[in-house]
Amino acid sequence: MLAQAVRYFSVGLGHPPSDTENPVRFNFVYTRDSQSIPVLAREGETLLEVAHNNHVDLEGACAQSLACSTCHVVLEERIYDGLEPAVEEEEDLLDLAYGLTLTSRLGCQIKVTRAMEGMTVKLPSATRNFYVDKSKVPSIERSHK
């Protein structure tokens, strides 16, 4: 049924959790476009998996193998501070990330917890960075993944 949605390679289950699964709700935002994208996540999913499940345009070229930095995300300070520090391999890749900040992490290495409810995650390397005329698209900005 989601023929077009699952057509492109993705990590994760391919669809967001339903209400009955008591999902964690938070937002992604493309830095060049201030529109906030609400997403639903299961605890333990990586941020990259959440993006793909909710059809948010975030590339993961090496499919979560810690071999690239295309899934680079920028977190709120309070969320960043509460995480386990990155392992050396992740730090090495973050060094190269476009738009690197002091609260940057790789989306494939961060697992969703309840404490992330309501947070905003910025996507500097997202590929959907065009200005979107909001009157021309449906309410939730969804892109194919």
Partner 1 sequence: MLQTFLRSKQSLTHHLPSRPFGFFVAQDYNPDFKSCLESQHLIKSDKDYRFAVVGCGPAGFYCAKQILKNVANVRVDIFDRNPHPFGLVRTGVAPDHPEMKKIEKDYEEVLKDTERCQFYGNVWIGANGGVSISKLKELYSGVILAYGATSERDLGLPSEKSLLGILSSRQMASWYNGSLDKDVLYDQDLALEQVKNVVIVGNGNVAMDISRVLMKDPEKMAPHDIPTPVLEHLRKTRINSISLVGRRGAVQSAFTIKEIREISRIPDLTMYALKQELLDSFTEASEREQHPDFSVHARGIQRRTEFIKQTSVILENEEQVREVVERKEGRKFILRYLNKPVELLGEQRVKGVKFERMRLEGSAGDQRAVAVEPKQVTTMDCELLIKSIGYKSQPIEGITFNTKTHTVPNLMGCVLNDKDEPQPGLYVAGWLKRGPSGIIDATLRDSVETFRIIKHHLDNEMLPEKHTKPEDVQKAILENAANHQVVDYGDWQKIDAVERQEGSSRGKSREKILHKEEMLSISKKV
Kindly list the residues in this chain that would bind partner 1 in the complex (CB under 8 A): 1-5, 7-9, 15-19, 25, 38, 40, 59, 61-63, 65-70, 72, 88-89, 91-98, 100-101, 125, 127, 129-130, 132, 134, 136-144
Q: What gap in Å lies between CA 55 and CA 88, rounded to an integer?
A: 30
The encoded tokens of residue 124 equal 């500097």
CB of 141 to partner 1, least distance (A): 8
CB of 37 to partner 1, least distance (A): 10
* Shorter beta-carbon distance to partner 1: residue 115 or 140: 140
Q: Which is nearer to partner 1, 115 or 137 (CB)?
A: 137
Where do the H-state alpha helices sit in the chain? 47-53, 77-81, 88-94
Rounded to 5 degrees, what angle do the CA atoms 59, 83, 68 make?
A: 25
Q: How far is the CB of 9 from partner 1 (least distance, A)?
A: 4
Q: Report phi then psi at 38, rounded to 5.
A: -75, 135
Q: CA-CA distances (angstroms) from residue 43 to 23, 35, 87, 134?
A: 7, 24, 21, 31
Q: Least distance from C-beta 130 to partner 1, angstroms?
A: 6
In angstroms, what is the minimal distance from the CB of 121 to partner 1? 17
Angle at 119 between CA 114 and CA 125, to 5 degrees: 120
